[in-house]
Structure 1
Amino acid sequence: MNPESKKQLNVILLGVAFMFMFTAFQTCGNVAQTVITNLNDTNFHGSGYTSMAIIYGVFSASNLISPSVVAIAGPQLSMFFSGIFYSIYIAIFIEPSTWSFYTASVFLGVAAAILWTAQGNCLTINSNENTIGRNSGIFWALLQSSLFFGNLYIYFAWQGKTHIAANDRRTVFIALTVISLVGTVLFFLIRNPQDLNTEEGEISGGADNLVEPTSDQSKMTRAADAFKSSIKLCFTKEILLLSITTAYTGLELTFFSGVYGTCIGAVNKFGAEEKSLIGLSGIFIGIGEILGGGLFGLLSKSHHFGRNPVVMFGIIIHFIAFYLIFYNMPNDAPIASMRGTDHIAYMEPSKEVAIFCSFLLGLGDSCFNTQLLSILGYLYAEDSAPAFAIFKFIQSICAAVAFFYSNYLLLQWQLLIMAVVGFFGTISFFTVEWEAPAFVARNIDYSSI
């Protein structure tokens, strides 16, 4: 197997590891509030919403230091230890206590920042300008498979249950913890591309590809440089423009992962299926994500298409979804009480339209995220960790803001905010894509500024 094939194998292993981890974590997130509700009559008094706020808040702040951590530990170890904290958070639910739940939320926020910065770095160093689009699509499709498997479990295993007994809870979260640990261990199978280049150099008799050992002093220097690069990159034209697109992904992430499921579950017109439809909605979001990741990964093999048509397709798909949701869902659905809402929007609520919109939300999201991963890896191939840290910093802040206002704004205003930010985010992405070749040609290294 040649070094290029081994790098592609690294990308596949990266995607499979994330698929296992987030099958466990996203399933945990989907059932957490239901489980917590059944625990509130005990000594446990935690809140899933408070935990989410802690995670996103710490996640945002920790993106300032995550490039330095990745520079010192390397992407492989960074992802492994981050995976351990994801597993600990899930394991807390086996025998939950309030203090351990919130403490684990803090550590998970830090781990998430390091994990995603290391993921972006790992994806970039295993790609080049010809393969970054394809590899982004492969990774995204594998990652989003977690939405399918986790929600499929919710739909079938807990259908019709109104109370989650302690034995049911322990069985589920022991299994989820094991699944998360399997994904964490898979990070050790990813080989360092520098080792692959060394093997290639030894075979060809060349010496240019040999990598000298890195001293502790040089690691600290790299960590400091990574931190300075993160600050300086924040104020560059390309990052400022892409920040609008990134902000949109944070807003719509909150909508499809939290708000839309709540809307479906609140519509009393859906009858006894309203709660199980939440799981089915998650499955179709996952199908859209997987299809989009795989399709756009294949299309990216040809530079004839470029990134802009994919992003244009994504925003059109999302605008269609927003329009249908506006017509199908009652305006008060996001903030309805526990009793749900009997109101009707501009049409009789349709289960089929609701699930079709779930698919469109997932498909459109894959368009934006695969192309953002691709363009960041292309523009910052030599300095990827700070760039991906800024990406996650902006995305997580906007997601936290969206989680906050989702408790108060009617559906029409939430859709309007996403439509406006999505429109300007698409325009800004187009601008960066048009100027990308000139930017790369200048070969700017912000770490040396």
Structure 2
Amino acid sequence: MSPEGKKLLNIVILGFGFMFMFTAFQTCGNIEQTVIKSFNSTEFHGSGYTSMAIIYGVFSASNLIAPSVVTVIGPQLSMFFSGLLYSGYIAMFIYPYTWSFYTASVFVGIGAAVLWTAQGNVLAINSTDNTIGRNSGIFWALLQFSLFFGNLYIYCAWHGHDHITDKDRQTVFISLTVISLVGCFLFFLIRKPDPEPAPAEAAESLLQAESTESSSTSEKLTSAVFFLSVKACKMFGTNEMMLLSISIGYTGLELTFYSGVYGTCIGAMTQFGKDAKSLIGISGICIGIGEILGGGVFGMLNKCNRFGRNPVVLLGLITHFVAFYLIFLNIASDAPIAPEAGTDLQAYITPNLGVALLCSFLLGLGDSCFNTQLLSIIGFLFRDNSAPAFAVFKFIQSIMAALAFFYSNYLLLHWQLLILVVTGFLGSMTFFMAEGLAESTRRESDYDSI
């Protein structure tokens, strides 16, 4: 197999591994608040929103040390052990207790930081300037198939159920745990790409240098850990990352909304009938279709890079604004915080299931627009420092997701939508400015090569 074919195969395996893992985890996140509301046990007093806030809060803090972990043990083992933590969190729902619920949330936050930093590293080292857009799109499309398969299973399992029994919950979460473990073991199929004749980074040189003395090796590892931690912190101060930080933060806010809040809103609308809870699965499928379509199409368009990344981001902004407006008209304002029995309130129009599912599709499509372009521009601008760069990316995204899950416990729907509209507009404007810097960097690189 050619070196380029080997790299493409690695990207495909990476995408399938994440697809299996997040078929389990994203489905878990989509239904957990609804599942928790149905618990009859007096020993459990947890909140799905609070759990997600803990996950993303720990996730954001752990991103500062994640590059060091990935460098020391390698991206392959990093993804495997992180995946086991995800599987443990899902398995906890089989017999849930409040203490185990929140403890597992902390561990998943740590594992998520390492997992996504390793993913960014694998994506970068298996891509070139010409293939980073294509590979980002392929990975994103495969990842988002997780929304399709997991939520289709939820719809079939819960169809006709107006209440989730203990048996229903245990059957679903045992299945999701097994699916997650399959994804973990797929990471062992990824092979190291053939090395290119280029100067290595100082930290990577420290880790790759051979030494016969164990004390010397220990000193090099320590130096590498310190170097990468400092490198990740310094990236906050670069012009490119400061401009991208607002758009990255927006992806964290809308991640919370489409992955946890919106499905809960649909399940709480009693006017959608007794199948409202099973419709959470259909909503997730529509989100997944939007994500897959956007990841595939925009990733491939980015390969040509004729018009840059700005048109795709602008399309994502318009798509999201249309979705937010329709949700504002269609879904009751108290739906995110309604009790297990649901809400009888009506928004500005008679609740329409078709409009609700259209909004799910638009949320997924817009999210893929932003994320594929952010993965592409960060992979381009920070190719030589990919692990710290993706760690900073996930730090910003996850801390905003944690904030959003926290306020989702208290804010009515229209206030959450207002926050998304303002942040999305500001994030798009700053992305356009960062893309201008990327184009300047590309032109300088072309001039130097000439």
Q: Note whether the superposition's TM-score is higher than 0.5.
A: yes
Partner of 2:87, secondary structure, is: helix
Contact 1:285–1:362, Cα closer than 8 Å, also in 2: yes
Cα deviation for residue 329 of structure 1 reads 2.1
Cα gap change, 1:364 to 1:101, in 2 (>3 Å): same
1:201-350 matched pairs, under 5 angstroms:
213=210, 215-350=217-352
Q: Distance in 1 between matches of 2:91 and 2:326?
A: 39
Kindly provide the amino acid, as one letter, of the partner of residue 241 in structure 1. Answer: L
Q: Distance in 1 between matches of 2:87 and 2:4?
A: 32
What is the match of residue 374 of structure 2? 372
Cα gap change, 1:169 to 1:255, in 2 (>3 Å): closer
Which sections of structure 1, spanning at least 5 residues, go unmatched? Answer: 202-210, 444-449
Kindly provide the amino acid, as one letter, of the partner of residue 273 in structure 2. Answer: G
The alignment covers a number of residue pairs equal to: 431
Kindly provide the amino acid, as one letter, of the partner of residue 333 in structure 2. Answer: N
What is the match of residue 18 of structure 1? 18
After the TM superposition, list the runs of 4 or more consecutive aligned residues in structure 1 that deviate by more than 6 angstroms: none
Cα gap change, 1:180 to 1:356, in 2 (>3 Å): same
What is the match of residue 116 of structure 1? 116
1:181-196 matched pairs, under 5 angstroms:
181-193=181-193, 196=194
Contact 2:34–2:264, Cα closer than 8 Å, also in 1: no
Partner of 2:274, secondary structure, is: helix
Deviations 1:254-277 (A, max 9, x none): 111122122222323222232222
Deviates more, 1:118-127 or 1:41-50: 41-50
Q: Distance in 1 between matches of 2:242 and 2:335?
A: 34
Q: Distance in 1 between matches of 2:442 and 2:223?
A: 25
What is the match of residue 422 of structure 1? 424
Cα deviation for residue 104 of structure 1 reads 1.9
Cα deviation for residue 435 of structure 1 reads 1.1
Contact 1:146–1:286, Cα closer than 8 Å, also in 2: yes
Partner of 1:129, secondary structure, is: coil
What is the match of residue 435 of structure 2? 433
What is the match of residue 50 of structure 2? 50
Partner of 1:373, secondary structure, is: helix
Contact 2:316–2:367, Cα closer than 8 Å, also in 1: yes
Kindly provide the amino acid, as one letter, of the partner of residue 11 in structure 1. Answer: I
Partner of 1:417, secondary structure, is: helix
Cα gap change, 1:30 to 1:319, in 2 (>3 Å): closer
Cα deviation for residue 424 of structure 1 reads 1.1
Q: Distance in 2 between matches of 1:14 and 1:389?
A: 18
What is the match of residue 125 of structure 1? 125
Contact 2:55–2:402, Cα closer than 8 Å, also in 1: no
What is the match of residue 177 of structure 1? 177
Deviations 1:76-127 (A, max 9, x none): 1111110111112222233334433322221111001110111111101111
Q: Distance in 2 between matches of 1:309 and 1:413?
A: 28
Which sections of structure 2, spanning at least 5 residues, go unmatched? Answer: 199-207, 212-216, 446-450
Contact 2:162–2:274, Cα closer than 8 Å, also in 1: no
Cα gap change, 1:247 to 1:293, in 2 (>3 Å): same
Deviates more, 1:44-53 or 1:222-231: 44-53
Deviations 1:121-143 (A, max 9, x none): 11011111110011000000011
Contact 2:161–2:274, Cα closer than 8 Å, also in 1: no
What is the match of residue 203 of structure 2? none
Contact 1:3–1:197, Cα closer than 8 Å, also in 2: no
Cα deviation for residue 286 of structure 1 reads 0.5
Contact 1:134–1:300, Cα closer than 8 Å, also in 2: yes
TM-score of the two chains, using structure 1 as the length reference = 0.90
Cα deviation for residue 67 of structure 1 reads 1.1
Contact 2:331–2:351, Cα closer than 8 Å, also in 1: yes
Contact 1:145–1:286, Cα closer than 8 Å, also in 2: yes
Q: Distance in 1 between matches of 2:261 and 2:93?
A: 23
Q: Distance in 1 between matches of 2:167 and 2:340?
A: 26
What is the match of residue 204 of structure 1? none
Cα deviation for residue 177 of structure 1 reads 1.9
Q: Distance in 2 between matches of 1:170 and 1:287?
A: 27
Deviates more, 1:90-99 or 1:232-241: 90-99
Q: Distance in 2 between matches of 1:165 and 1:347?
A: 33
Cα gap change, 1:363 to 1:70, in 2 (>3 Å): same
What is the match of residue 101 of structure 2? 101
Contact 2:30–2:263, Cα closer than 8 Å, also in 1: no
Q: Distance in 2 between matches of 1:47 and 1:77?
A: 32
TM-score of the two chains, using structure 2 as the length reference = 0.90
Contact 1:251–1:402, Cα closer than 8 Å, also in 2: yes
Partner of 1:94, secondary structure, is: coil
Q: Distance in 2 between matches of 1:367 and 1:148?
A: 18
Q: Distance in 1 between matches of 2:90 and 2:268?
A: 27
* 1:398 paired to 2:400: yes
What is the match of residue 412 of structure 1? 414
Deviations 1:42-96 (A, max 9, x none): 5444443332232122111111111111121111111111011111222223333
Cα gap change, 1:187 to 1:213, in 2 (>3 Å): farther
Contact 2:37–2:340, Cα closer than 8 Å, also in 1: no
Cα deviation for residue 237 of structure 1 reads 1.1
Contact 1:246–1:394, Cα closer than 8 Å, also in 2: yes
* 1:357 paired to 2:355: no
Q: Distance in 2 between matches of 1:35 and 1:336?
A: 13
